[in-house]
Structure 1
C-alpha cells in the first residue's frame, strides 16, 4: 500500500470516528433535554417500596426522606405503590407524611391513609379462588390470602412468623398491626370476605410452574411476581398501572404528569403508564427496558437522585 493511500484511509477513519462521537454526544444531549422536559411536567410521583424506596436492609435513607419532603413543598404529590397490605404501610405514611391515597396489593386496592378508607378495589373471583386454594392444599404449598381485615395462611407458612415479627415492631411504634390467622380445613374462614390477593411461595420452580400452567387456564385470574419463588395472584385486570391510573383520574391529571419508579416485574405496568418512568439501578434488565431513565441503586438513594436531577427545582 502506498504511503499516501494509507494516510488517506487513516484520515478518513479519524473523521468518521469524530463524526460518530459527535452523533453520540448529540444523541445524549437530546435525551437529556427529553428527560428534563418530562421531569418538569410531573405533578405526582408514585414509588415502589421494596428495592426502590427502601435500601436492601429495608431502611429509609435521609436523602429519600428529604427529596420527598421537598416534593411536597413544591406541590408535587408523592405516594407509594406496593404489593403489601394497607395495614403494613402505617410506618411509611407517617414518616413520609403521605396524605395522597396509596396503591396496595399490586393495584387491587387504593387506600386513603388520612380517612382510613378504601377508595377503589377489585377483589378476586370467589369460584376461581376456591379452586386455587384446593390446589394449594393438594400440593401442600405455602400459601395465604390478603384482605383488608384478617389475612389467612397455611398452618406451616413461614409468613406467619414474618408478620408476627412485623406486628411486634408495629406495636412498639404505636402503629396498626396486621391481623393474621390460619386456614381451617375447607377454607370456610374466608366465606363472604373480599380477598384481593393469593400468595403462593415455593423454592421448587417445578411446583411453581404447575400453578403458572393452571393460571393460564383461568378466565378472571392473573398473576405477577414481586420476588423469586413467589406468585402474586389476583383478578386479571389488577396491576400497579391500574392503581396509578385510578389515582391519576382522581386528581384529574394526565399520564405525562406522573412519574413512576420501580425495580421489579410487578412495577412494569405503572412504568408503562407514566409519562416519566424511572427504573432503579438494581432493577431487573427487563424492567429497565420499560423505563425512560435508569437511576442509581436503592442503596444509593436512586429515588432521591432522580427526583433532584429532573423533577425538583
Structure 2
C-alpha cells in the first residue's frame, strides 16, 4: 500500500459543509494524519484571507504548513508568509476580459496584488465573495488600471442562467491564453495559463521532495480537475459534479457526511 505524504483538500463543497463548518470527525482525522507526518494542504479558489480562519482552526499555521490560494495562482508558507510561487495576469488581460464581459452581459470582479478584491460595481456575487472571505471590496473602473497592473485572477460572476450562456460566448482563444475554470455555478475564473490547482500542488510537492504518487487530492468541482489528474490518488466527493467523479480514482461520501474524514481514515490512517 502506498505511503501518502501529502493530501490536498479543496475547501468549498469538500472540506467545508454547506454551512461553512468543518466537522469534528474531519478535524480529528486531519490531526491524526499530521501526527503521522502527512502534509495537509488547503487548495482553494479563495484568496488567502478567506483561508485564514480555517488554517487557524485546523492548526495549519506553522513554518511547515503551506496553502494554495486563488486556484494555485499563489502558494504560500503559512508560518513565514513567504510566497513559494505566484503566477499572475496583467491589467491588459483584465481590460480584455472586462470588455468581453460587457458584450455578453455578465458581471465581473477581480483580485489585484495591490488592491485586493476589485469590481466596477456592487453585484450580488461580488458581495458574496467579499462576505465569505471577510475582505474589503474596492469599487473601481477596471479600465483605469495600468496595463501592467498585477492581477491574480478575474472572475465572471452571475446567476447560473446568465453565466452559462455567457461562458458559451467567450472567445475560443481564451482557453489557450488562460486557465479557465468553473469553480461554482455562479463563478467562472480566468487565471494565468500556468495557474491551476494541479500545477500548484505539483510545484509544492516538488518543492517538498514529494512524488506525485505520494499525493492524494480531494475535490468536487471543475477547478479541482487539474489536481485530480495530477494526484497519485484522486478523490471526488459524493456531491461532486459528474465529470469530476468520472476522472477520480475513488468517490467518497459527500461534504455533509464527513467525506474528507473517510478518505483520510481509509487511505492514510488504516
Is the TM value for this pair above 0.5?
yes
Q: Does 1:72 align with 2:66?
A: no
Distance 1:266 1:97, change over 3 A: same
Give the one of 171, 175, 179 matched to 1:222: 179
- The higher radius of gyration belongs to 1
Structure 1 stretches of 4+ with a deviation exceeding 6 A read: none
Q: Does 1:152 align with 2:131?
A: no
SS of the residue 2:40 aligns to: strand
Q: Deviations over 1:76-99 (max 9, x none)?
A: 110111100111111011111114
Unpaired segments of 5 or more residues in structure 1?
1-36, 168-176
SS of the residue 1:50 aligns to: coil
Structure with the bigger percentage of strand = 2
Q: Does 1:128 align with 2:84?
A: no
Q: Does 1:289 align with 2:238?
A: no
State how far apart, in whole Å, the 2-side matches of 1:220 and 1:210 are.
18
C-alpha RMSD over aligned residues: 2.1
Q: CA deviation at 1:116?
A: 1.6
TM-score relative to the length of structure 1: 0.78
Question: Which one is further off, 229-238 or 200-209?
Answer: 200-209
How is 1:183-202 mapped onto 2 (pairs within 5 angstroms)? 183-184=140-141, 187-189=143-145, 192-202=148-158
Alignment check: 8 A CA contact 2:198 2:228 kept: yes
State how far apart, in whole Å, the 2-side matches of 1:295 and 1:207 are.
29
Q: CA deviation at 1:188?
A: 1.9
Give the corresponding residue for 2:107.
142
State how far apart, in whole Å, the 1-side matches of 2:69 and 2:130 are.
20
State how far apart, in whole Å, the 1-side matches of 2:140 and 2:101 are.
12
Give the corresponding residue for 2:259.
302
Unpaired segments of 5 or more residues in structure 2?
none
Give the corresponding residue for 2:127.
161
Distance 1:137 1:285, change over 3 A: closer
Structure with the bigger percentage of helix = 1
State how far apart, in whole Å, the 2-side matches of 1:117 and 1:215 are.
36
TM-score relative to the length of structure 2: 0.90
Q: Deviations over 1:134-186 (max 9, x none)?
A: 2334555321001344210131322443355447xxxxxxxxx52320123x5
State how far apart, in whole Å, the 2-side matches of 1:135 and 1:235 are.
17
Distance 1:128 1:191, change over 3 A: closer
